[in-house]
A and B are shown apart, each in its own frame.
Chain A
């Protein structure tokens, strides 16, 4: 028998989002270390693997990664503000709204740039 989900407000979801995006970014970094280090092993393999990043699925993955990175960065700044500026704590909810808005807008803009080849109809393999 399960418990109900605790009904925390924006702070709880900011905390959970921060953790989830933190793990996302961390695992991407692990993957990134592996794909970049391939150049030491076999430059051909490096090229092949990096060619893969051009396909539509991985481009979409990059859009998700960008969103995760942006959320983690902006929310990190929100936490820094809460920690260091006594006045900021009164506005933590509106700061969270700003974090979401900035993340959303910049993900759409960045996502457009990342997906542009497909939007323009140029298909990369």
Chain B
């Protein structure tokens, strides 16, 4: 563990006072085992209280602090200074409107998430028993249960940058989670939603989403599985 000087270059924008975004640099002293989020905290708490970013749990679970870190989408709370170096560039994630500095309006993203019915739909009454599911059936969608809705995948997608109508990788991942759940009964409904112009066919397999996911979800693979489920009409 060693103290290091970190140069943070942050893209700042306050729509109430700024005509366009500008870069601001902060030099902060942190441990090399600290995370980028810690460096942001030092900058905000000791140098400029107006520096604005989101964070909640600070441990890679809540998905609040996705940002473009040295050019690629990452969670600031998971990236260790030792790994990313002492010159760090931070920008808000792309494709969503910036509210201030690193904070974007997540509402379009959540609306797209809601559009795929991301909850269990089963109208049958299981009575006083569980809805049984075998370990194999559970494993079918295990990867996509890990999503924390940080938007790192969706906002890394070049198609999403150019077309905000595309539901985006995160919505498809969360649809996948229920489409392939043996207890769910609304797979067909979700596949119909994702078969529309704004759905899975917008995916051009650029793989940025899979590279960006802080949970290691194989996002492109999940999207491809949904594409094939629509194509072959088989879950």
- Chain A residues close to B by CB (< 8 Å): 1, 3-12, 14-16, 18, 79, 82-84, 86, 89, 92
Interface of B is mostly: mixed
Residues of chain A within 8 A (CB-CB) of B11 are 1, 3
Residues of chain B within 8 A (CB-CB) of A83 are 205, 224, 227-228
- Assess whether B89 is in contact with A1, with CB atoms less than 8 Å apart: no
CB of B21 closer than 8 Å to a CB of A: yes
Interface of A is mostly: helix
Number of interface residues of B (CB under 8 A): 28
Instruction: Tell me the minimal C-beta distance from A47 to chain B in angstroms.
Output: 42
CB of B91 closer than 8 Å to a CB of A: yes
A82-B224, A86-B224, A89-B224 known; A4+B71 contact, CB < 8 A = yes
1/0 per residue, CB under 8 A from A, across B57-101: the answer is 000000000001011100000000000000001010010000000
Instruction: Tell me the minimal C-beta distance from A14 to chain B in angstroms.
Output: 7
A1-B22, A89-B221 known; A6+B206 contact, CB < 8 A = no
Residues of chain B within 8 A (CB-CB) of A9 are 207-208, 211
A89 CA / B207 CA spacing, docked (Å): 10
Residues of chain A within 8 A (CB-CB) of B71 are 4-7
A83-B227, A89-B221 known; A15+B68 contact, CB < 8 A = no
The one of A4, A8, A16 that contacts B211, using a Cβ cutoff of 8 Å:
A8
A8 CA / B211 CA spacing, docked (Å): 8
